[in-house]
Structure 1
Amino acid sequence: MEKNIIKNVRETVPLVHNITNYVTVNDVANILLACGGSPIMADDAGEVVEITSICGGLNINIGTLNGRTIESMILAGKRANELDHITVLDPVGAGASKLRTETAMQLLKEVRFSVIRGNVSELKTLWGGEGTTKGVDADIADRATEENLDDMMEFAKKLSKKTGAVIAMTGAIDVVANESKGYAIRNGNPLMSKITGTGCMLSGVVAAYCVANPKHLLDATAVAVAAMGLSGEIGFERLEKTALGGTSSYRTYIIDAMSNMSDGILQEGIKIEAR
């Protein structure tokens, strides 16, 4: 795996345009600042092409869709492709409604993505299978486990070949793959699933890491996933020492841990396996 992924982010301060959902927009902005990037949030069709033009990366999240932002996503995505910028798709809740599914498929048709990050259910929907979702969460049957990890890795590689994007499949075990190589990542803490927005935050971090390391998209994505998981572990250790701490404190501690993350800290705590 490439070294200095995080160092490159800190040194280049990549500017990332986020068309994300209004539930988590503040957390996405804060985690981008914490990881060493610089966020811009703009979703009006009248300016997204200009904003995308000045940024190195575009992060599209379909968590709170409406007709206005769908147009903006497509305009921004096409402009990013014209400039050969990094593009990240977070297909939140794809499969939960006709609008979400059709929008995700339209985006895949009209925009070329560098990375697609989602849970197993969302990614199965993009493939065109029978993936189901529980709101915006993965169905209980759609989880990467030690028993089905080989199958999940193979699926991620096939989806990467189909879409041309690095696939980041997140869950209890995270899978990051292109069509020929993959990583299984076991960092994280179950309590992270009780905080709205950890997945959305991760997509922003992925965008920043890839902008700063454009020749190593697979490794940059894997490091972003591992760094977020490790931040969850470090934050949980801090939470356990806080008598009255709860999930709100935990969210803050995760962002704190990300702000202090380095290649050295990551190498000491990363739990990654090449597959």
Structure 2
Amino acid sequence: MTILNRSWDIVEQIRSNAPLVHSITNYVVMNNTANALLAIGASPIMAHAQEEMVEMVGISNSLVLNIGTLSEPWISSMLVAGKAAKAESKPVIFDPVGVGASTFRTQTCTKIIQEVSPDLIRGNPSEIMAMAGADGQTKGVDSMHATQTAEEAAKYLAEHFDCVVAVSGEQDMIVSATEIVWLQGGSPLMPKVTGMGCTASAICGACAAVANTTFDAAVAGMVIMNSAGGMAAAKADGPGSFQMHFLDALYSLDKNSLISNCTVKA
């Protein structure tokens, strides 16, 4: 089965099973990511109180940790939820938003990586380079590097932490210790809409809840983003209407549109 066909199979599984994706995510994107999960066919839950983390993990199918708006109570909740999810063999997706921008943010990422061992790390090139200790300068939460420059950093993280790494940019790269896939698609409008990277992490969470492997889940999540982005751009007049059409594209995504709006690069 080809990569794009496997990705479509995962979309169908999401729509059949409506997995519950628990997201401890930031204030800026909660509404965006919850709506994206609903549009693709998953069910979102946005709980962050430490007192209910173990119970929420117990009823969820995957966990997404996103450090966009950091605070100590949320960090504690992420650690409790992450450890509970790993104990129950539920996939954990980690989005190290803005790592490298501050010491606090970088130290938090290191703590989560070491104590939780996420199955999938998804970030932009600068974030992935910062995670690996390279020169991953960030401009707020935006990348200052092209995806290609983060390849060695992604490989290092995948091998060193036994995880899958998805790097998003003009091209997307998905890396494991033994595999690498490059994807092309999406739209230049995507960086103009806040939270598209966070949305990618949430979609990867839905995919990880039903996929056979984390690598397949990461590829499918990024294929979905590329395809829906291309579909939305064909109808949008700018960032505002792009966001609306992106949700519609997730909802109406079919096999033909998924395949025709994303290219697997050698």
Q: Shorter-normalised TM-score: what interval?
A: over 0.9
- Of the candidates 257, 260, 266, which is equivalent to residue 268 of structure 1? 260
The two structures have a TM-score, normalised by structure 2, of 0.94
RMSD (Å) for aligned C-alpha atoms:
1.3
Q: Structure 2 matches for 1:38-77, cutoff 5 A?
A: 38-77=43-82
Q: Structure 2 matches for 1:25-44, cutoff 5 A?
A: 25-44=30-49
Runs of 5+ in structure 1 lacking a partner? 240-244
Asked if 1:256 is matched to 2:256, the reply is no
Check whether the contact 2:20–2:43 (CA below 8 A) recurs between aligned residues.
yes
1:175 partner letter: M
Q: Structure 2 matches for 1:222-261, cutoff 5 A?
A: 222-239=219-236, 245-261=237-253
Asked if 1:219 is matched to 2:216, the reply is yes
Check whether the contact 1:49–1:79 (CA below 8 A) recurs between aligned residues.
yes
CA distances 1:32-90 after superposition (whole Å, capped 9, x unpaired): 01111100000011111110111010000000000110100000000001000010000
Question: Paired residue for 1:199?
Answer: 197
Of 2-11 and 33-42, the range deviating more from structure 2:
2-11
The two structures have a TM-score, normalised by structure 1, of 0.91
CA distances 1:85-139 after superposition (whole Å, capped 9, x unpaired): 0100000000001111010000001002111000111111111222110001112
Distance 1:217 1:70 in 2: 24
Question: Paired residue for 1:5?
Answer: 10
Question: Paired residue for 1:179?
Answer: 177
Question: Paired residue for 2:155?
Answer: 157
Asked if 1:105 is matched to 2:110, the reply is yes
CA deviation after TM superposition for structure 1 residue 246, in Å: 3.1
Distance 1:222 1:266 in 2: 13
Q: Percent identity?
A: 36
CA deviation after TM superposition for structure 1 residue 152, in Å: 4.0
CA deviation after TM superposition for structure 1 residue 154, in Å: 4.2
CA pair 220-264 structure 1, distance change in 2 beyond 3 A: farther
Q: What SS does the aligned partner of 1:33 have?
A: helix
Runs of 5+ in structure 2 lacking a partner? none
